[in-house]
């Protein structure tokens, strides 16, 4: 698991979960398959996803694990009144719990794919989260997630406390990159206002997600993390 470094080209061509055509879905499957074939042999792969009807609202976590020739799916009702972030985090936690279970003793390396930049930031960069401390701690305790640097504290290099909101909306280190993000969002939505929830909504349009990933790429904030 690592924060994405470069927005893949296909983010602009595959639509979003709500608008995707069957041709786009097939193309998406082909691209993922191609990427998986490039992984070292015996890599265990998991995809996680959270979904939420309303935010907050009833939410659930899902995942699929591919281990050698076998696959296992996880579906789990998380809460009657939770958030998309909680669902995304629980999905990750469930995969790590499974991997610790004896059926998976042969796992040498797990590549876990989440589409939630907030979840990835919280787990790999110690971004501060207002909620869900227990779930986050449980994930970290599994120690399955490696980063090249050891994160000693949750301070940004500018001296402020690091958080998703700080990084995306206020850190002075990235003012220029943020202006570019603001312009991209303006062209796509007609609003100059950067809305945190909208930027992090994994069910938002692919255009918005692409703009956010470009911002992350421009800032090079994640370049010191492993890929
Ligand atoms: Zn900062």
Blockwise average pLDDT, block size 10, the chain, 227 residues: 58 71 85 80 88 92 90 95 94 90 76 86 82 90 52 70 86 92 90 85 78 84 51
Q: Note the pLDDT of residue 143.
A: 61
**CA of 137 relative to ligand 1 center, distance in Å:** 23
Look up the pTM and report it: 0.65
- Residue 74: alpha-carbon gap to chain centroid: 18
Angle at 208 between CA 202 and CA 212, to 5 degrees: 85
Distance 160 CA to ligand 1 centre (A): 5
Distance 162 CA to ligand 1 centre (A): 6
CA distance linking residue 139 with residue 117, whole number of Å: 16
pLDDT at 152: 45
Q: How far is the CA of 217 from the centre of ligand 1 (A)?
A: 16
What's the helix, strand, coil split of the chain in %, to 5?
Answer: 45, 20, 35
From the CA of 131, how far away is ligand 1's center (Å)?
Answer: 21
Q: Please tell me the distance between residue 173's alpha carbon and the centre of ligand 1 in angstroms.
A: 6
Secondary structure class of 72 (helix, strand, coil): strand
Residue 15 φ/ψ, nearest 5 degrees: 70, -170
Q: What pLDDT is attached to residue 32?
A: 80
Q: Which residue, among 47, 115, 109, 124, has the nearest Cα to 84 in the 3D structure? A: 115
| Tokens (6 digits) for 6 | 């470069």
Cα of 112 vs centre of ligand 1, distance in Å, is 27
Q: Is 173 strand, coil or helix?
A: helix
Ligand 1 centroid to residue 172 C-alpha, Å: 6
**Separation CA 169–CA 224 (nearest Å):** 21
Task: Please state at what angle helix 117-124 crosses helix 84-100, rounded to 10 degrees.
Answer: 60
pLDDT, residue 8, reads: 60
Q: How many CB atoms lie within 10 A of CB 45?
A: 18
Distance CA 214, CA 208 (A): 10
Q: How far is the CA of 174 from the centre of ligand 1 (A)?
A: 8
Distance of CA 155 from the midpoint of ligand 1 (Å): 8
- CB distance 167 to 128 below 8 Å: no
């Amino acid at each position: 698991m690592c924060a994405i470094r470069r927005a893949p080209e296909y983010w602009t061509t595959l639509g979003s979960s709500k608008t995707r055509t069957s041709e786009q879905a097939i193309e998406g499957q082909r691209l993922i398959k191609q990427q998986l074939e490039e992984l070292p042999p015996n890599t265990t792969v998991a995809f996680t996803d959270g979904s939420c009807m309303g935010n907050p609202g009833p939410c659930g976590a899902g995942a699929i694990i591919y281990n050698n020739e076998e696959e296992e799916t996880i579906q789990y009702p998380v809460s009657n009144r939770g958030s998309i972030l909680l669902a995304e985090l629980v999905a990750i936690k469930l995969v790590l719990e499974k991997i610790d279970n004896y059926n998976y003793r042969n796992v040498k390396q797990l590549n876990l794919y989440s589409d939630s930049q907030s979840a990835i930031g919280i787990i790999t960069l110690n971004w501060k989260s207002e909620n869900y401390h227990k779930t986050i701690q449980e994930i970290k305790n599994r120690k399955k997630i490696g980063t090249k640097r050891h994160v000693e504290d949750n301070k940004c290099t500018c001296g402020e406390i690091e958080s998703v909101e700080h990084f995306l909306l206020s850190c002075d280190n990235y003012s220029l990159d943020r202006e570019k993000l603001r312009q991209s969002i303006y062209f796509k939505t007609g609003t100059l206002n950067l809305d945190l929830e909208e930027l992090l909504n994994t069910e938002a349009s692919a255009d918005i997600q692409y703009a956010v990933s470009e911002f992350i790429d421009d800032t090079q904030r994640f370049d010191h993390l492993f890929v």
